[in-house]
Amino acid sequence: NWLSTQGYLRSLFERNGHQPESR
């Protein structure tokens, strides 16, 4: 499921201090 993947990746990005949608 893309929603699950997106939420997972987004969590990792936010955890690293980076935002996936920083455009």
Cα gap 2→5, rounded to integer Å: 5
Higher pLDDT, 7 or 3: 7
Average pLDDT of span 1-23: 71
**18, 12 in Cβ contact below 8 A?**
no
Q: What is the structure's pLDDT at 10?
A: 82
**pTM of the shown model:** 0.36
Cα gap 19→21, rounded to integer Å: 5
